[in-house]
Structures are given as C-alpha cells and as structure tokens.
Amino acid sequence: MQAVTEEQILAALSAVQDPSQNKDIVALGLVQAIQIKDSNISFMLVVPPHRGPAMEPIRKRAEQVALSIEGVTSATVLVTAHESRADGLSASSSSGGAADRQVKEKILESKVRRFIAVASGKGGVGKSTTAVNLAIALKLEGLRVGLLDADVYGPSQPRMLGVSGKPPAVGGDMVAPLENYGIKLMSMGLLVPDDTAMIWRGPMVQSALTQMLNSVAWGELDVIVIDLPPGTGDIQISLAQQVNLAGAVIVSTPQDIALLDVVKALTMFEKAKVPILGMIQNMAVWHCPDCGRVDHIFGEGGAAEEASRRGIDLIGDIPLSLAVRQGSDSGLPVILSEPHSAHAAAYKQIAASLIERADLRSEKTS
C-alpha cells in the first residue's frame, strides 16, 4: 500500500466547501499543519476568531472526507481561531491589546474546583513523573482528580499513566477523557499517533489547549493537575490567561544549571499573578542499595537554597531511584508499584501539603 501524501489530502479536502465564502477550504488557505504518520493524519483549520463557533459542521465534514482517503485509518481535525496583525503577532500575544482587557475565562469552574500547574523551567528534571505521581497521591487521599497533559509538543502522560486509544465522543463536539487508576486523562498523545512531530505555531497550540479544557467532559472533579511543558512559552501564558489557577508547583533538580531556568519560571508566574505553592527537589539524593552509600549526584540542596532565598517553601525531596524511572516507562507509577517505598512516602507527603495549601479537600469528604 502506498503512503498517504499531503497532495492526496489537499486534493480530497478541496471538495469541502465553506458556505460563507463559496470556496473550498483548501483554496481559502484554511488547511494548515498537516501531519502524516503511517495511516494516521491530523491537520488544523485556521480561521478568524468570529468564525470559530460556526466551524464545527465544516470540521466534521473535513474529518469525514479525510477518513475516506484510501489508506487513512484515523483523522484528527482541530479548529484554531486567531487574529493576525500587520506585525505578524497574534492579538492574544500583544501587550495592551483587547485580550489583555478581557476578564479571564473561568473554564469549567462549575465542575472543577481547583487547577494546579506542575511546572519547571528546564526539561529533564522529572516534572511529568512528579505530576502523575502527585495526581495518584491526591486520588489516594480521596479526591476526584484529572490530569491534563499540556505538553503539546512532547506528551508523555498516556505512557506514564498506562492508557492508550482515542477519547470517545460523548455528544456534540465533546469527548470523554480516558481513565486509569481513578485518574481522568486528556493529552495530545491520545489524539495524534506516537512519534508524530507537532509543528505548530503559538495560536494553534493555544487553540489545542483550549479545546482540551472546554471540549472534554471532565465531570465533577476536585482538582485537575496540569503537566506543563518546560519553559515559559505560549502554553504557560495561555493557561494563566484562561484558567483561574489555584497555584503552581515548581520541580527542579539541585544542580545549578536547572536552577537558572527555575528563576525564569518563578518570574513568569509572578507576573501572571499565579501563587507558587512550593518547590520540589527531584533526584535529590541517591542511596546505594548494596553498600548504603549516599551520593548527591546532581548537587546537594540547590533547590532548597533557591526556595529559601526566594521565600518559597520546599515541600518535598524526591530521591533518585531506578524504580521511579521504571514505573514511568511501564505505566505503573512508583507510588503504586512500590507503595511502601521512600519515594511513595515523599509523593504522599507532598500531596497532603498541597491539599492544605490549595484548599483541595473534596466537598464529599469535608
């Protein structure tokens, strides 16, 4: 079977008409960011803001046409609505623009009591592993918990939580999150094939994040833990604008190079007026299982010192361990695979602290 090509996709989609323009969506330049992975495809329909609400019938038609292409077994179509300016910036990214004067959207406030962001300034410090273990620790405390994998470019939570498959439709344009270990999950990793590179610009990423919040039937939850991508880019800024965050948790290793980027993350949340609930020092120390020797492989106490210097509480130290890594790779997080370990105890202690700091106690149990 021949591989599906971008030319085939565009040719097929040229049959989809935009009734308001009397032209097809390809001729209008609406089809962008086509991704092809084996027999799975995805693309965006990029329209002006005022067109967004009316695009659902066209989106569904484009999806049907894409699925009819020979060799295509799944198609994901997202709509992104943004305004272009002469200087090339989107209106949502300009300071002093209309977006800055709007009141923050209170997404899902009626059903989700709190949102907590787990962030890091630098990649590779164990932020996603920390997020999934904290979500389960909060569940073990009796809370109703969701996990939003907001790392659009490198989603890892489906593997860490041990779930796969496409979220099922539940009516209209809504889908249901997938669930494992009592945690409800939504991730871009559930919507596009593995190993697909997401080559999206800022407005597309913002639209995808908004849809993962607004078009998902999360149900009644006490908290959604949001696993942010590393850095201080579009996703972090959009999230602060769209969601009334109860606060953020900053994850770092003790090493100086990681702490340099932590400072940037702290500054960003401060400017966005998002409370910092505390810092977590990950990979803090390694205990040799054979001889009992203690090594500070990534430095000693760096995150604790930075937290103290900035008046932020250090709410947990997570030891470096092979079991933590194995749990993340296998889809059985260490808090469940080794519930009596020092690592599980650390996550549980952090979760208990967050319950008090962010007022997460379930209304059912309070």
Expressed as residue numbers, the domain containing 148 is 112-357
Residues 41 and 128 both lie in one domain: no
**111 annotated to a ligand binding site:** no
Q: What does the pLDDT read at residue 234?
A: 66
What is the model's pTM? 0.69
Q: Which residues of the chain have pLDDT under 70?
A: 1, 20, 49-54, 81-110, 122, 193-206, 231-234, 255-260, 284-288, 294-303, 362-366
**126 annotated to a ligand binding site:** yes
Q: What does the pLDDT read at residue 144?
A: 95
**121 annotated to a ligand binding site:** yes
Residue 105 domain flag: no
Q: What does the pLDDT read at residue 3?
A: 83
Q: What does the pLDDT read at residue 208?
A: 75
Residue 91 domain flag: no
Residues 151 and 23 both lie in one domain: no
Residues 132 and 66 both lie in one domain: no
The whole-angstrom separation of Cα 4 and Cα 137 is 44
Neighbours of 39 (CB within 10 A): 16
Q: Which helix (H) or strand (E) holds 205?
A: helix 202-214
**123 annotated to a ligand binding site:** yes
Residues 203 and 249 both lie in one domain: yes
Final residue belonging to a domain, choices 32, 61, 81? 81
Task: Count how many domains the chain has.
Answer: 2
Paired strand residues for 82: none
Q: Which helix (H) or strand (E) holds 236?
A: helix 234-242
Residues 223 and 352 both lie in one domain: yes
Q: What does the pLDDT read at residue 215?
A: 84
Q: What does the pLDDT read at residue 106?
A: 40
**247 annotated to a ligand binding site:** no
**52 annotated to a ligand binding site:** no
Q: What does the pLDDT read at residue 299?
A: 54
CA trace torsion 352, 357, 178, 129 (10° rounding): -70
**264 annotated to a ligand binding site:** no
**219 annotated to a ligand binding site:** no
- Read off the tokens for 285: 């120390």
